[in-house]
A and B are shown apart, each in its own frame.
Chain A
């Protein structure tokens, strides 16, 4: 069961307290409480406060009211970064999940060599977030890169995929789709949960492949599809490494790979404008929360819960 399912179920079930457990829980949870306070919730609140200041780490923070938030509304480079990030998230996540589902369906049902295929498709998702793969991508989609060599072999003229602002983002989308192995594993586990008798009954009734997929597989897999979608969207919003390495930290060419996180990094850790970076961080949190809320709202139209 995923973390999201747990959250859904949280309302159910009565709370009991056992004698002596309060004390024990306090000690067992002591590191976690400290982390929550100092590393997680504290900084979240602090970044909210810093958002109202001008702060460069050297001089003490100076209160400037809503200036940083007003700047969010008028900053054109930020708006471009939002466009780039939204495009990346809204194109790459559905493509990635479609590939994951497609391959999972092919691999389902006791295919011979399943374990081998599963490993081969899974491996890229472990490598995908590394700097090394970003270096590889820079070469593969470069002017003299592997893609153009292969295209040249077929007589097609290539281009500098990464140096061209029109295609640079697409290479990062391809990279994200390339890591479909991890959602594929989740889907495979979900497919295995669907009782075989449903398919047998449908087959006896003469249901076509497509009808079985639509009426059995999709509804029963939909909770898993849903939480994977939610998590992958949150995850994609946080992409940083690949854009950073491929563009040499600039978000170029012409800001075409300027992810939101990369812009935040530049403001905070290159220009040391910590106040504005904090406002950006909060804005990012709001955007992700809004996307997640929309997802939960839309879920009622397509996600099927048995309980």
Chain B
């Protein structure tokens, strides 16, 4: 008992220290983005004398169009991906969790296998396909795959969830003469809102952060999303100041941070029950 009394505060001290060191760079970025000029910006501390927002206005308008366009583009893209994932993955998950069809285990195995398939293996022919049908510089190459349930991780997540729902409910509905579409829409779907929430938040964060496919498909500045624009801003010779780069980086992270605050519970549960992606 006495050892515990000594160790507990030490443990807390250690954990707080680790957490502080880990989050320090991010905090510092936020504080630095509010400092004037590059000289004072080089201070490694977190103390701020006065808020200066000129980095933000400078960064916001550094590229044409302004950052507002990129935020809007990202928002549209994210919304499309969320809707696509929710509809298509829940349908597929219902089939895998509740229907008994021929070759189910085989298809299920393939579905699980695609979770681990690297996007780089398919990106080249996919690009050839999408550029031939004129989809480059539209959001279609990024959204259509979601509508076709290619984010198998979410299918798996929802399958896990549906399996946990009591089967008696859909058996009863079946006896009452409900077909699968009604069982799915009126019984299973309303009960699986936590899984849908988890999918929404993960899709939001992953799409917002995703850089590789957006970099490849979106080359017209009017279609840039936040990560592509941020990278282009950093690379452009116009931007020599860390201040405005940091300011726009902070802007790009705010939605992620909000999603984290709102959806923490679902994120943690989603990772814990599926073992992550």
Q: Does B108 belong to the interface (CB within 8 Å)? A: yes
Q: Does B88 belong to the interface (CB within 8 Å)? A: yes
- Contact status B145-A135, CB under 8 Å: no
- Contact status B148-A38, CB under 8 Å: yes
One of A29-37, A75-83, A161-169, A297-305 at the interface: A29-37
Q: Say which residue of B18, B121, B226, B257 sits within 8 Å of A103 (CB atoms).
A: B18
* Number of chain B residues close to chain A: CB under 8 A: 99
- Contact status B118-A50, CB under 8 Å: no
- Contact status A149-B105, CB under 8 Å: no
Considering the complex, give the chain A residue whose CB is closest to the CB of B103: A15
What are 26 pairs between A and B in contact, CB < 8 Å? A3-B116, A3-B153, A15-B104, A17-B102, A22-B102, A24-B179, A29-B91, A29-B107, A36-B110, A36-B114, A42-B125, A43-B122, A47-B125, A118-B268, A119-B260, A124-B23, A130-B208, A131-B231, A131-B234, A133-B26, A146-B25, A234-B118, A238-B120, A244-B231, A245-B234, A268-B124
Set of chain A residues within 8 Å of B5, measured between Cβ atoms: none
Contacting A at CB under 8 A, from B209-265, are 209, 211-212, 215-216, 226-227, 230-231, 234-235, 242, 245-246, 248-250, 252-253, 256-257, 260, 264
Set of chain A residues within 8 Å of B272, measured between Cβ atoms: 185-186, 188-189
Contacting A at CB under 8 A, from B100-156, are 100-102, 104-105, 107-129, 131, 144-145, 147-150, 153, 155-156
- Contact status A57-B108, CB under 8 Å: no
Considering the complex, give the chain A residue whose CB is closest to the CB of B250: A132
Q: Does A253 belong to the interface (CB within 8 Å)? A: no
Set of chain A residues within 8 Å of B104, measured between Cβ atoms: 15, 25
| Least CB distance, A99 to chain B, in whole angstroms | 9
Additional 15 contacts, C-beta under 8 A, given A24-B95, A135-B230, A278-B125: A2-B275, A17-B100, A28-B180, A31-B149, A43-B123, A112-B12, A117-B15, A121-B19, A127-B253, A136-B26, A136-B249, A185-B272, A231-B116, A238-B119, A241-B211
Given A124-B22, A124-B23: A281 touches B121 (CB 8 Å cut-off): yes
- Contact status B148-A35, CB under 8 Å: yes
| Least CB distance, A121 to chain B, in whole angstroms | 6
Q: A23-61 vs B: 1/0 string, CB under 8 Å?
A: 011101101101110111011101100100001010000
Q: Which of A16, A131, A150, A249 has the most CB of B within 10 A?
A: A131
Q: Does B28 belong to the interface (CB within 8 Å)? A: yes
| Least CB distance, B272 to chain A, in whole angstroms | 4
One of A4-12, A86-94, A211-219 at the interface: A4-12
Task: Using C-beta atoms within 8 Å of the partner chain, give the interface range for chain A.
Answer: 35 or more
Q: Does B29 belong to the interface (CB within 8 Å)? A: yes
Set of chain B residues within 8 Å of A153, measured between Cβ atoms: 44
**Roughly how many angstroms separate A3 CA and B276 CA in the complex, as a whole number?**
9
Q: Which of A21, A32, A44, A130 has the most CB of B within 10 A?
A: A32
Q: Say which residue of B22, B99, B274, B275 sits within 8 Å of A28 (CB atoms).
A: B99
Q: Does B73 belong to the interface (CB within 8 Å)? A: no
- Contact status B234-A135, CB under 8 Å: yes
Instruction: Spell out B's residues near A (CB within 8 Å).
Output: 11-12, 14-15, 18-19, 22-23, 25-26, 28-29, 42-44, 87-88, 91-92, 94-95, 99-102, 104-105, 107-129, 131, 144-145, 147-150, 153, 155-156, 160, 179-181, 184, 205, 208-209, 211-212, 215-216, 226-227, 230-231, 234-235, 242, 245-246, 248-250, 252-253, 256-257, 260, 264, 267-268, 271-277
Q: Does A123 belong to the interface (CB within 8 Å)? A: yes
Given A118-B268, A132-B252, A186-B272: A21 touches B99 (CB 8 Å cut-off): yes
| Least CB distance, B146 to chain A, in whole angstroms | 9
Set of chain B residues within 8 Å of A42, measured between Cβ atoms: 125
- Contact status B216-A284, CB under 8 Å: no
**Roughly how many angstroms separate A18 CA and B95 CA in the complex, as a whole number?**
12
Set of chain B residues within 8 Å of A15, measured between Cβ atoms: 100, 104-105
Given A42-B125, A57-B128: A126 touches B112 (CB 8 Å cut-off): no
Q: Say which residue of A39, A44, A185 sits within 8 Å of B148 (CB atoms).
A: A39
Q: Which of A132, A186, A285 has the most CB of B within 10 A?
A: A132
Q: Does A84 belong to the interface (CB within 8 Å)? A: no
Q: Does A258 belong to the interface (CB within 8 Å)? A: no
Q: Say which residue of B101, B148, B235, B253 sits within 8 Å of A25 (CB atoms).
A: B101
Q: A205-246 vs B: 1/0 string, CB under 8 Å?
A: 000000000000000000010011001001101101100110
